[in-house]
Amino acid sequence: MSYAYFMASLPLLWLQGELPLTSPEFLDMGRRLLSAKDFRGLEAAMEGRLEEAGLPGLRRYVHAEIQLRDALARLRAARAGVDANPFVRPFAGFDSAAESAAAAAMSATNPLERELSLDQFRWGVLEEISALDAFGLVAVYSYGLRLQIAEKWQRLSEAQGEIAVETIVKDNVAGIGL
């Protein structure tokens, strides 16, 4: 089904920067403009239950995410000198971009840069799948998932990072009894 009106009415999204709308606002629009079945799928996708969304076009994203996580698990396991097999999941296909994204992220100098690198890969995959049918349901779901990624970055700030570091340091100091 085509959702040309819905997609055309949505503002552009950027990974970082001011958000033109929130997930609840997007879901409210979806509730009004999507069929009941398609809206339930959108809710499932935005709650992280992508396979329940029942949309074949999302498989590419699901498989890319699994491969990305598997690549990260292998890199972390190699760094720790342990077997990665208990931490990997099977997936269909192979995408060298996911492997490259994981390697690039793990070479980042700090965790924030690492996370940004991973989210840039995810964003790119979501843009790719939405480009296949810019007014179709996959594009609607992709928009919602990209909105969630952008919201995550909106919530991150240097002040929050400093608070997190202070908490970790205090917990570590308390743990060693200083």
Question: What pLDDT sits at residue 10?
Answer: 96
Residue listed under structure tokens 């970082």: 16
Q: Where are the alpha helices (DSSP H) in the chain?
A: 4-9, 23-33, 36-46, 59-80, 96-106, 111-131, 137-155, 158-176
Tell me the per-residue pLDDT of 46-60, one tens digit each, with 9 for 90 and over. Answer: 999 988 887 888 989
**How many domains in the chain?**
1
How many CB atoms within 10 Å of residue 170?
Answer: 10
Tokens for 46, please give them. Answer: 């935005």
Tokens for 168, please give them. Answer: 């970790």
Question: How far apart are alpha carbons 125 and 134 in whole angstroms?
Answer: 14
Tell me the per-residue pLDDT of 149-167, one tens digit each, with 9 for 90 and over. Answer: 999 998 886 667 677 777 7
Range of the domain at 18: 4-176
R_g (Cα) of the chain, nearest Å:
19
Tell me the per-residue pLDDT of 2-46, one tens digit each, with 9 for 90 and over. Answer: 899 999 999 999 998 889 999 999 999 999 999 999 999 999 999
Distances, alpha carbon 35 to alpha carbons 2, 126, 132, in Å:
11, 22, 21
Q: What is the pTM of this model?
A: 0.84
Tokens for 36, please give them. Answer: 């009941």
Average pLDDT over residues 102-112: 93
